[in-house]
A and B are shown apart, each in its own frame.
Chain A
């Protein structure tokens, strides 16, 4: 558990970070909370020439509401989302997911942007971001791009992010409508990555029908999965048990799990179904109880 030698730099300004990244390309690695990168370095699975720590760059942290969005700085710690209690009623799914990420020590260090960029198929934020329809703001020396969460996750630990880019912000649209959501996670013990998890976010229209539903699945495929068929079957519908069961079935079908020490593919698919079903009931109940 001793990393190979590397250079370390912690610039005070984002521009400096971006120019270092454009200079070093694939030889450089951004360091945020270090909760994924440092284990990789210690196991010598990663051996970058230079590690660029963004910990001293201002303006990358915090959760705030602005222009119909909830904006989360990329370097916001999991712990700070966990305690952003004013998200209750708007983005329940974030508040339910945050405390299920590993243990308090990791949540105090790990960052939302780091988790999204790392793109572990078993990372919890990926599924959440797909469910709430987030957008990712990424910057490079050449400029800024805004990437929708849908399509961002391309495979295990691979995303649409380029090696010279830094994620600066996550934007989540929050519209009118009553909303509710939740996150269900199967873990083998506290502090474990998910064996299966499901993120659910529902917005109800004024007529009580489901306006939009977002469903993200975690750890049941090569990357976080958006259960689009399930989402589609819910949109515009009365939230009946039958519709929910059908959506859950479709979500289970959207899962592409592999058998491993955590269980068979059938098992994981079925738990995804069960979680989406339970999650939709909770989300809809919450939305129905929420003020518009």
Chain B
């Protein structure tokens, strides 16, 4: 009989795989076309009569424009137009609103405010002609002093960058506070110990492999505006286009085809999109604009550039009782952060992290500088990366000062599993978590105690080895529309599901994949909820004419919001199916049961109608009084955010002679609630750990004193390759989100958020016995060498 059960188990496993529901590591449906080179990106769009646009950019970080001369460029055969800010101003398009309610120059008219700023656009018959002509556009500049740090910017007497803004008399953008100042002051007053950390999260860049670009096609006869663009949020962008350009929204169709990565870089609207669209309107021909790598790195949405200074108050038992953080943010020349409107510092107030800290107070200030605008969330929920980095680094400092193992400090202060839902001192309600649980799995996987012994032995011999710990908590999946909106658009999302007569389905979403595998994951949710095999569910996104309105993909929100919408709409169809099944069985609806794509009448489980039977009946044999068809749409406004978490452990060895850091091991235990496609989840984690590694050790956009950008190509802006990226060892725990229909939390960004602190803590752990307490990212070998030499360590 034992044989039979095994066979039954094998059969049920085969059925599970064939269905491809939740928990199955289905191969990604979209990969076939990517692997065959058959992806279709914006740059693949070629339209009859299409023109090419090249942007003339400012070589100066700060300068007054005295004149722009375009006649030499216009004289080249094949040049159709040279667009300047002056021309745009005639159409009220010289300035545009940003995602943070500021304004940004589309093409500079009065001044340039960062190196690489858009000054003019050449439009020509070919890209080569446009490039040649762009070189001939000359601009007279009167250089002004450049401000390259927010500290310079807010110093008294600093030259005012945004002098065109009425009432703007300095370089300050905002002042924002969260938490309870008095309660926090009281906690610090009774603290037995206060540990402080001052650190800087440097400017880095999402640098998707595919740069930004568009093809704008405005039909002068119909007035239809079709814009192919690299957009993570096509619907929101359509609305913004309608508002900015004054185009009728029903005539605008934004198509965001395959995207070669986004990571937040494709959330904002850039001047190039606006000029190409305006040019197509004025010229009456399609206009293509595609950035090159340097364009992308120097002008589009950067991330971070955050100065953080704070302290934790600790009582006599080693418990954290209060947290204070002061932020100074460098926002560049225009405040273009992608942030939910009510929170100027994004969701930074998640900074209490995984710890039960009863009082917290956060003060944030933003400043204009002569640097590119952006402040996008590079693979994180708005400013959550900065917050997580800060608290995890501060806890490391606290452990050093308390003379404790950093694991002990964390275990002593974690929010306990039974404390959820947990209300944080800064105003979040954490949905669920088990922090000690994830920590334990990670420690076991690593063999933590053994490695601590090895470290002690090495240290005795003068060798440098460190173990880094980070136990992050994220907040992702905006909104709750009441609290979170972008430019007033509430952060819900949508799913439209149609099951055709043959039982095959099409699912249309308001979110937009940039490589995350939506075509597979969301089909699996339908498979789970409706019992239609994932292979029979086609997922469509990115075309505003053909998908329901949604806010797009960033902040790990697709599964928490779009995924919830998908589950809900599938359940609606499942319920309608019950009515149809009752009709077919000539039974009462209340007596119909549903499981795994099959309906039956209670008590007769062997007489079933499949979901495919029901779909066919929906179009051929519908009961009286019921609308035909099997189709629905859901707009899902989540009741709360989700709070993924995990523990990351890193082991490093340091070369005393060169300062080089070698990551020996990286163990990552993630809890993102229920995993829909475990393989895709692991892929997301691998990607994030790699980007976190890059941020910790090499990625940097910096500027010299004149405001020249250093990091304007991939020889200078370093991103890791498979060669130097460490091997990752992944583990998991599963703590479902109680408010999400399928218990999933979103995982696209956990690893970018959580890992930088783990890498940095490992380096500090190797050096802290020498009295080295902080090295700012990126931790390059020269910084480690300098720290070692400052303590007299040499080879």
Contacts and interface: CB of A to CB of B under 8 A. Distances in A.
Contact of A186 (B127, B294, B781): B781
A41 interface: no
A267 B785 contact: yes
B163 interface: no
Contacts of A261: 700, 702, 710, 716
26 contacts: A1-B293, A1-B294, A2-B131, A4-B135, A103-B721, A188-B718, A188-B780, A188-B781, A189-B698, A189-B724, A190-B723, A191-B723, A192-B715, A193-B715, A195-B782, A261-B710, A262-B780, A262-B782, A264-B786, A267-B659, A267-B785, A267-B786, A270-B785, A271-B657, A274-B658, A274-B795
Interface in A162-194: 186, 188-193
Given A189-B698, A274-B658, A278-B657, A263 B716 contact: no
B698 A188 contact: yes
B660 interface: yes
Contacts of B698: 188-189
Interface residues of A, number: 25
How many B residues touch the partner, as a band? 20 to 34
Contacts of A192: 715, 718
A1 B702 contact: no
A189 B786 CA distance: 20
A68 B671 CA distance: 65
Interface in B631-675: 657-660
A101 B795 CA distance: 26
A69 interface: no
Contacts of B593: none
Contacts of B795: 274, 277
A267 B720 contact: no
A190 B785 contact: no
A44 B292 CA distance: 14
A275 B786 CA distance: 17
B292 A189 contact: no
B34 interface: no
A263 B702 contact: no
Given A189-B718, A195-B782, 11 more contacts: A2-B128, A4-B132, A189-B698, A189-B720, A193-B715, A263-B780, A263-B782, A267-B782, A270-B794, A274-B657, A274-B795
Interface string B546-578: 000000000000000000000000000000000
Interface in A63-85: none
A191 B725 CA distance: 13
A193 B723 CA distance: 15
Interface of A: 1-2, 4-5, 44, 103, 186, 188-193, 195, 261-264, 267, 270-271, 274-275, 277-278
Given A2-B131, A263-B782, A190 B721 contact: yes
B291 to A, nearest CB: 10
Nearest to B293: A1
Interface in B304-320: none
A263 B715 CA distance: 16
Interface in B435-454: none
Interface string B733-758: 00000000000000000000000000
A267 B716 CA distance: 19
B785 A263 contact: yes
Contacts of B658: 186, 271, 274-275
A270 B721 CA distance: 28
A195 B794 CA distance: 19
A4 B136 CA distance: 12
Contact of A191 (B721, B780, B789): B721
A108 to B, nearest CB: 16
A263 B721 contact: no
Query: Which residue, of B715, B785, B789, has the highest number of chain A Cβ atoms within 10 A?
Result: B785
A4 B135 CA distance: 10
A278 B700 CA distance: 30
B658 to A, nearest CB: 5
Contacts of A191: 721, 723
A44 B702 contact: no
Contacts of A195: 781-782
B202 to A, nearest CB: 12
Contacts of A262: 780, 782
Contacts of A5: 128, 132
Query: Which residue, of B128, B660, B700, B781, has the highest number of chain A Cβ atoms within 10 A?
Result: B781
Interface string B752-795: 00000000000000000000000000001110011001000011
Closest 6 pairs between A and B when the two form their complex, measured CB to CB: A263-B782, A190-B723, A274-B657, A2-B131, A267-B782, A1-B292
A261 B702 CA distance: 9
Interface string B284-326: 0000000011100000000000000000000000000000000
Query: Which residue, of A103, A186, A190, A267, has the highest number of chain B Cβ atoms within 10 A?
Result: A267
Nearest to B714: A191
Nearest to A44: B135
Contacts of A193: 715
A74 B795 CA distance: 39
Contacts of A2: 127-128, 131
A172 to B, nearest CB: 28
Query: Which residue, of B128, B132, B782, B789, has the highest number of chain A Cβ atoms within 10 A?
Result: B782
Nearest to B722: A190
Nearest to B700: A261
Contact of A189 (B132, B293, B721): B721
Nearest to B130: A2
Nearest to A2: B131
A261 B292 CA distance: 23
A256 B203 CA distance: 31
A252 B199 CA distance: 33
A263 B781 contact: yes
A65 to B, nearest CB: 33
A4 B293 CA distance: 18
B660 A186 contact: yes
A214 B207 CA distance: 42
Interface in B469-528: none
A132 to B, nearest CB: 24
B76 to A, nearest CB: 11
A1 B782 CA distance: 32
Nearest to B295: A1
A264 B784 CA distance: 12
Query: Which residue, of B292, B658, B723, has the highest number of chain A Cβ atoms within 10 A?
Result: B658
A189 B781 CA distance: 11
Nearest to A196: B658
A144 to B, nearest CB: 36
Contacts of A103: 721, 723
A47 to B, nearest CB: 10
Contacts of B724: 189-190
A271 B655 CA distance: 11
B73 to A, nearest CB: 14
Contacts of A190: 721, 723-724
B1 to A, nearest CB: 57
A2 B724 CA distance: 31
B655 to A, nearest CB: 9
Contacts of B657: 271, 274, 278
Nearest to A104: B723
Nearest to B716: A261
A274 B794 CA distance: 10
A94 B80 CA distance: 54
Contacts of B132: 4-5
Interface in B686-706: 698, 700, 702
Contacts of B789: 270
A128 B521 CA distance: 53
